[in-house]
Amino acid sequence: IAVDVNNEAAASTVQSLPGSHEHQSMLADVGSAESVAALFEAIRKQYTVPPSIVVNSAGILRDAFLLDMTEAMFDDVIRINLKGTFLITQAAAREMVTNKVKEGSIVNISSIVAKSGNMGQGNYAASKAGVVGFTKSIARELASHGIRCNAIMPGFIETPMTASVPEKVMTKILPRIPMRRMGTPEEVAEVVKFLCSPRSAYVTGSVLEVTGGLDM
124 is catalytic: yes
Residues contacting residue 203 through CB under 8 Å, at least 6 positions apart: 148, 150, 195
Candidate list 74, 124, 134, 156, residue with the active-site label: 124
Strands 2-4 and 25-27: parallel
Rounded-to-10 torsion of CA 110, 115, 118, 124: 30
Cα-based angle 82, 152, 46 (whole degrees, multiple of 5): 65
| Identity of the residue numbered 180 | R
List residues with catalytic annotation.
Answer: 124
